[in-house]
């Protein structure tokens, strides 16, 4: 039986840059292995660690998209949607959709990290 989910790995062109983004966003720390510069992890926050993996010729997903579908996205619980949006944008995220403003009852917004992966900030 599987004991636990070890990590969620995100493909990207620059694993250090992406790991720094998520470390700042989540209040974690970057854990790099000098022997393997193509794999950088983010630890020190509540939840499963994130890993950022270098992929040659990386092409970011499109949201919403059919040619380069997102395939995976991350959801993060927040207490202050406006404040966390400002912080995420200052760290290099971009807004994809302010869902809470266009769908009645929605409590989330969709963003792209610096490598183009979609993620949501969810008000709880």
pLDDT tens digits, the chain, 124 residues: what are they? 767 888 999 999 999 999 999 999 999 999 999 999 999 999 999 999 999 999 999 988 888 777 777 678 899 999 999 999 999 999 999 999 999 999 989 999 999 999 999 999 999 8
Q: Dig out the tokens for 57 from the structure.
A: 């010729």
Answer whether 42's CB lies under 8 Å from 26's CB. Answer: yes
DSSP structure string for 1-54: -------EEEEES-HHHHHHHHHHHHT-EEEE-TT-TTEEEEESSSSSPEEEEE
């Amino acid at each position: 039986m599987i004991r636990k989910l070890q990590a969620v790995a995100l493909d990207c062109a620059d694993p250090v840059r992406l790991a720094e983004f998520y470390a700042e966003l989540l209040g974690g720390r970057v854990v790099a292995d000098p022997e393997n510069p193509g794999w950088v992890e983010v630890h020190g926050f509540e939840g499963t660690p994130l890993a950022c993996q270098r992929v040659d010729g990386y092409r970011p997903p499109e949201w919403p998209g059919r040619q380069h579908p997102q395939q995976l996205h991350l959801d993060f619980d927040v207490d202050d949607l406006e404040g966390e949006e400002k912080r995420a944008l200052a760290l290099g995220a971009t807004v994809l959709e302010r869902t809470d403003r266009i769908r009645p009852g929605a409590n989330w917004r969709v963003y792209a990290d610096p490598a183009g992966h979609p993620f949501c900030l969810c008000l709880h």
